[in-house]
Amino acid sequence: MNAPFPPERPPLRVMIAAPRGFCAGVDRAIEIVERAIARYGAPVYVRHEIVHNRFVVDNLKAKGAVFVEELDEVPDGVPVIFSAHGVPKAVPAAATARGLEWLDATCPLVSKVHRQAERQIEAGRHIVFVGHRGHPEVVGTFGQVPEGTITLVETVEDVAALDFPADVPLAYLTQTTLSVDDTAMIIAALLQRYPDVAAPKAEDICYATSNRQSAVKAIAPACELVLVIGAPNSSNSQRLVEVAERAGAKAHLIQRGADIDPAWLVGVETLGITAGASAPEELVREVVARLGELRTVVAEEVVTAQEHITFKLPRQLAG
């Protein structure tokens, strides 16, 4: 007697969030590295990962980029690029002192936060900065102002522990890649304790972070599982996982299609896909293809916003 055919797997509905993946700041940073290699020749050194994505970093390594963590690892006579996350003022100053040619790939929206920090200090205010301790963007922002003039808070509980006297002028700023909802709660707590705290002229959380979180909120309630394509050290990707889970879906952060565990798909009829701002569209296609090997996929894109923002290149590479 022949063995029975295995039961046919039901089609998998795949909802692909849009916007997703690369933002204008990431596009600019990658183009800076590629143009620098074309202009100066390999090797071109990059201090810190240009963006938080191993696939992107490995592709740039293959083209002639060398990634280091500190400036003293850069030999004399070669150009060095600073990552999209921004660096303390001391870093370009040290590069200039050594006579190094340097290019700043800091996202312009991060640079905007840097300039706001300087202005608040010039106005005599102490800055309360909402962010994640140790993140390169936080380190870079703290390095724009004198030590002791900025205090980090990560949670509502951190706000409750602040002990500034009532007569100390305060301002707040935030990291650009935070959870929109969490940050709103932290700022509300800060305003309740210090009603006169000065706010930034516009929200510091960047358009790409907000748009990607909104897109996940639009698809996650209909999904049993959401896959977020991004790196473990990518703040905005980690926040997308949290947004999906809060909307009631299970969520996994993956870097490649090979990371998908077939067991995750058991009982899943609708699956969502998004990608952090440092993850290329190529990886989205790879994940969809891997799902297609496991199930019959019926894919649809769910668009919640259009993005048409571009940023200028540094003057050394313009034209």
Show the 3-state SS of 22-65.
CCHHHHHHHHHHHHHHHHHCCCEEEECCCCCCHHHHHHHHHHCE
Does residue 172 sit in helix, strand or coil? strand
DSSP-H helix ranges across 98-135: 108-122
Kind and range of the H or E run holding 73: none
Ramachandran sector of residue 64 (left: φ over 0; alpha: ψ -120 to 50; beta: rest): left
Active-site entry in 101, 137, 154, 286: 137
Unique residue bearing structure tokens 């899943």: 268
Block residue for tokens 């990371």: 259
Contact yes or no for 15/271 (Cβ under 8 A): yes
Residue 137 annotated in active site: yes
Question: Which helix or strand (DSSP H or E) is residue 293 part of?
Answer: helix 281-294
Bridge partners of 68? 47
* Residue 143 CB burial class (10 angstroms; 0-12, 13-18, ≥19): middle
Nearest to 103 by CA among 40, 48, 36: 36
Residue 71 CA to residue 85 CA, distance in Å, equals 15
Residue 206's alpha-carbon distances to 29, 159, 175, 202, 277, in angstroms, are 16, 22, 9, 10, 11
Residue written as token pair 């700022």: 187
Strand partners, 67: 46
Instruction: Compute the CA torsion angle 86, 90, 95, 99 (nearest 10 deg).
Output: 140
Active site residues: 137
